[in-house]
């Protein structure tokens, strides 16, 4: 718990990569990964993986973490699960019914260079699926986020990957 002049409590909530139906920005998983993947326009996937969390889980984690005074001593981690990029792409393609779309995983060595994603993006004239920072951390040996504390202490429940992706892709008109 942080405090400002001993009058304001600050609760830190640390969500994983957020996805779900609703408004999206240019750097969202939905627009930078899911849509190009389903449409067969994604040349390669970055290696590694990341923690993912469905939008409703983020909201629930924020509310539960803010209500529990005992829990405020540390940050809430909202993460449904850690998933490899290959597994995430496979699930998106399967749920969207786009079996012919298969993006291959890029080798890890070029992805550690900050400019690799930008260079590939400029060559194919499409935005990168993940920014340079995400590409480097996905293969830098970072530990997966873990929500076991939020589950045990707050009763927070993760959303299954298939259910979250199905609802997301339906909301995007891709399933």
User: Cβ atoms within 10 A of the Cβ of 26, count?
Assistant: 7
State the DSSP code for 123. H
Q: What are phi and psi of 96, to 5 degrees?
A: -75, -15
Q: Which residues pair with 110 in a beta bridge?
A: none
Predicted TM-score (pTM) of the model is 0.70
Alpha-carbon gap, residue 1 to 30, rounded angstroms:
33
Query: What are the tens digits of pLDDT across the range 13-58?
Result: 667 888 998 776 656 889 888 999 998 888 888 888 888 989 888 8
Q: Please compute the mean of the pLDDT values over residues 91-100 and round it to a whole number.
A: 86
Q: Please compute the mean of the pLDDT values over residues 128-157 and round it to a whole number.
A: 60
Q: What are phi and psi of 7, to 5 degrees?
A: -120, -25
Alpha-carbon gap, residue 161 to 129, rounded angstroms:
19
In the chain the domains, ranked by start, together with CATH numbers, are: 2-107+145-171 (3.40.50.720)
How far is CA 130 from its chain centroid? 10
| 122: helix, strand or coil | helix
Q: Which residues pair with 15 in a beta bridge?
A: 78
Q: Which residues pair with 44 in a beta bridge?
A: 104
Alpha-carbon gap, residue 58 to 80, rounded angstroms:
9
Query: What are the tens digits of pLDDT across the range 32-42?
Result: 889 999 988 88
| 156: helix, strand or coil | coil
């Amino acid at each position: 718990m942080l405090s400002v002049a001993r009058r304001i409590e600050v609760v830190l909530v640390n969500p994983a990569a957020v996805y779900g139906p609703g408004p999206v920005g240019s750097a969202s998983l939905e627009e930078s990964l899911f849509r190009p993947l389903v449409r067969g326009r994604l040349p390669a996937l970055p290696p590694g993986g990341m923690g993912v969390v469905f939008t409703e889980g983020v909201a629930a984690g924020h509310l539960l973490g803010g209500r529990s005074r005992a829990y405020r001593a540390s940050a809430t981690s909202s993460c449904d699960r850690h998933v490899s990029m290959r597994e995430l792409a496979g699930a998106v393609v399967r749920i969207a019914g786009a079996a012919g779309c298969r993006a291959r995983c890029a080798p890890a060595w070029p992805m550690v260079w900050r400019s690799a994603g930008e260079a590939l993006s400029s060559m194919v004239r499409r935005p990168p699926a993940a920014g340079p920072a995400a590409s480097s951390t996905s293969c830098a040996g970072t530990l997966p986020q873990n929500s076991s504390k939020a589950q045990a202490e707050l009763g927070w429940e993760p959303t299954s990957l298939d259910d979250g992706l199905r609802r997301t892709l339906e909301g995007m008109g891709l399933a």
